Amino acid sequence: MNVVALIKAVPDLTQSRYSRSEMKLQEKGPRLMPPVSENVLEAVRQIKESNQNVSTRALLLGNQAEEIVLRKALAFGLDQACLILGDVDIYDPYLKSRLIAKALEKLGVPDVLVVGGDSGSGSGGQVGIRVAELLSLEDDKFHLIEQGANQPRIPNIMAIMKAGSKELITLKAEELLTGEEFKSVQTISREEWLG
């Protein structure tokens, strides 16, 4: 059984500052794995522990610096990881979900897809649900894990060291969707930082 965990990386709001002149969040420090993604990884770990012949993969859409988040996912005991390299707005669930679905078609549509619910960081957890729909995964093959749904076990030092040597493949977003396909249908018209 092929199980995929869809995880995300979010800005570190304790370090980042919002630039009112540029109307943009100036991110500082590496992006972090949100708690809901840890819940996703714990759920996948439990599936693996209670079934035989399970292969697990973590998948993330982001930039090269976010490889560290995938390595953390591998420390949770997953077998492989895939980074989709793409400069996509943190709030663009339409494009993000289409890229991830394309990547999963290329890698092999999973038997089970595990995604996180709302992390409070953007689109309310809709990316994972959209991916499930694009891949025609009904609810029996699709697990939506809400934040706090389980108690993630913190990886020990051995698991963290082992994660460094596990397979991590990279796919480029512009090779998954090209031309007109690599285009969103929605735009941001206004932002206001409330702090």
Partner 1 sequence: MEDDPFAFMRGEVVPENAARSEFGSASGIVITLETDEQGKPTKASEELIGKALELNGELGSRVSGCLTGAKALDYAKSFVHYGLDKILVVKDSDGSSITEQFAKWAEKNQPELWMFPESRLGRRTAARVAARLRTGFVNSVQAVNIDLGSRSMEMTHLELQGKLRRTIVVREARPQIMTLAAGAGSPVRLSETERSPIEVLEL
Binding positions for partner 1, rule: CB under 8 A? 10-11, 13, 18, 25, 91, 93-94, 97, 118, 120-126, 129-134, 138, 144, 180, 183-195
In the complex with partner 1, which residue's Cβ is closer, 23 or 161? 23
Residue 56, beta-bridge partner list: 3
Distance of closest approach, residue 82 Cβ to partner 1, in angstroms = 21
Amino acid identity for residue 65 in this structure: A
How many CA atoms, within 13 angstroms, populate the side-chain half-sphere of residue 53?
2
In the complex with partner 1, which residue's Cβ is closer, 90 or 160? 90
Distance of closest approach, residue 149 Cβ to partner 1, in angstroms = 13
Q: Report d(CA 42, CA 104) in Å as an integer.
A: 21
CB 97 within 8 A of CB 6: no
Distance of closest approach, residue 185 Cβ to partner 1, in angstroms = 4
In the complex with partner 1, which residue's Cβ is closer, 2 or 121? 121
Distance of closest approach, residue 55 Cβ to partner 1, in angstroms = 26
**Token representation of residue 92:** 């663009």
In the complex with partner 1, which residue's Cβ is closer, 87 or 195? 195
In the complex with partner 1, which residue's Cβ is closer, 29 or 164? 29
**Token representation of residue 22:** 């540029």
Going from the C-alpha of 74 to that of each of 19, 25, 118, 139, 141, the distances in angstroms are: 34, 29, 22, 26, 22
Distance of closest approach, residue 138 Cβ to partner 1, in angstroms = 7
Distance of closest approach, residue 50 Cβ to partner 1, in angstroms = 25
- Residue 125 has a CB neighbour count (10 Å cut-off) of 22
Name residues whose C-beta falls within 8 Å of residue 138's C-beta, 6 or more positions apart in sequence. Answer: none
In the complex with partner 1, which residue's Cβ is closer, 81 or 101? 101
| H or E, element range at 169 | strand 167-172
